[in-house]
Amino acid sequence: MTPPITFYIPPVLWPDALPTQPNKDWAGYRLGLYAWTVQTYLWLNAAGVGCQLASQLPEIGIVLCHSNALRSVDIEPLPQRLLVCIKAEAALSAIAPLHVVQNPLDISLLGNRYYVPHWPQPQLIARDASRGDRFETVAFFGHEDNLATELKSYAWQVALAERGLNGRVVANHNQWNQHSYLETGWNDYHDVDAIIAVRSFNPIRRLLTGGFAYKPATKLYNTWLAGAIPILGIESAYRGTGRRGEDYVEVKSFSDLLERLDQLKADSLWRRSLMAEGKVRSLEFTPEKIVRKSEVFLEAVAIPAYVEWCKYSARQRQQALLAAKVRSFLDRGKRKGRRLLLNLLPGA
């Protein structure tokens, strides 16, 4: 029999009001904590997968918990409870034998890390087809911390004006556990011709972060699904998901960005080709496809791991948890070293 499957959110983080639909532009979905739990539960439940969303920690079954939720609760491993940590951008959990990661290059069978794509933006309003070959509006949707300094500058505004382009930034400034006042316009691409998303042009920062190794490729496939052109920085998730120059444009520096904008402005055939390829690739990242990937993870990975976990002796469980603690310790040490070096960079 299939074990109980629970998406767990501690009471202290339980939202005041929950959405009833996964494809709703609810502000909470701007937070990974709720996108990976509430939204996943609703999509799987709608697909007929037996699962529950709970604020009380069950003693039996598979429990999927976002890494941020683990900040506020102590979970004791039990013989019939298998914890699956939805890792997101955090370090490996010391108490979870399994992890779900959101970057395809963050997979590690040795470290029990398995990739499931993040959900696309709910209720996407696609680029208006009547815009045709127009290339006038470029936008950024996301958290302000994920926008390169150069793209907040006066020089950027001047560069856009010189090219006859309109720039739009729809950004939030919230903490990881705040969602009640978040901007809810991330879904509206109706008059957007391209998305520009660059976290940093600094090659040392990219190197130290492993190409932003813990970030997902959502800005890439959101833009595909919306029918616009993705113009993106050098990131491992983008490179692991897309094809540079074919279904997205990669830029390595501010001057390179300006050159690519000039090329795009002058070359309508390239723009059409990018959008056509993006339309084809978008079919791989519909909610229905991600539901199936989630089902495969549960069926092929989590449930067999749970069966094995329940068969373990107390000594075997201790060994599995010791291995998880060692991996977590090493990962946290590596991340701490990276942070120290990043803080030494100019402008950090």
The reply to whether 348 falls in a domain is no
CATH number at residue 133: 3.40.50.2000
Residues 6+ away with beta carbon under 8 Å from 309: 79, 82, 97, 317, 320
> Would you say 97 and 83 are in contact if contact means Cβ atoms under 8 Å apart?
yes
pTM: 0.93
If one counts the domains in the chain, the total is 2
- Contact by Cβ (8 Å): 159, 258: yes
Q: What is the β-pairing status of strands 137-143 and 61-66?
A: unpaired
The answer to whether the CB of 189 falls within 8 A of the CB of 161 is no
Q: Are residues 154 and 295 in the same domain?
A: no
* Nearest in space to 230 (alpha carbons), one of 92, 138, 298, 115: 138
- Let me know: does 81 contact 58? Beta carbons within 8 Å: yes
Structure-token pair, residue 223: 């833009």
DSSP state of 3: P
Distance CA 165, CA 102 (A): 33
Domain of 87 in residue numbering reads as 5-120+286-343
Q: pLDDT per position in the chain (348 positions), as tens?
A: 789 999 999 999 998 889 999 998 888 888 889 999 999 999 999 999 999 999 999 999 999 999 999 877 888 889 999 999 999 999 999 999 999 999 998 988 777 899 999 999 999 999 999 999 999 999 999 888 899 999 999 999 999 999 999 999 988 765 655 555 555 678 999 999 999 999 999 999 999 999 999 999 999 999 999 999 999 999 999 999 999 999 999 999 999 999 999 999 999 999 999 999 999 999 999 999 999 999 999 999 999 999 999 999 999 999 999 999 999 999 999 999 988 998 888 765
Q: Which residues pair with 141 in a beta bridge?
A: 170
Asked if 250 and 339 sit in the same domain, the reply is no
Would you say residue 182 lies in a domain? yes
Tokens coding 96 = 């979870």
HSE, side-chain direction, 13 A CA sphere, residue 135: 22
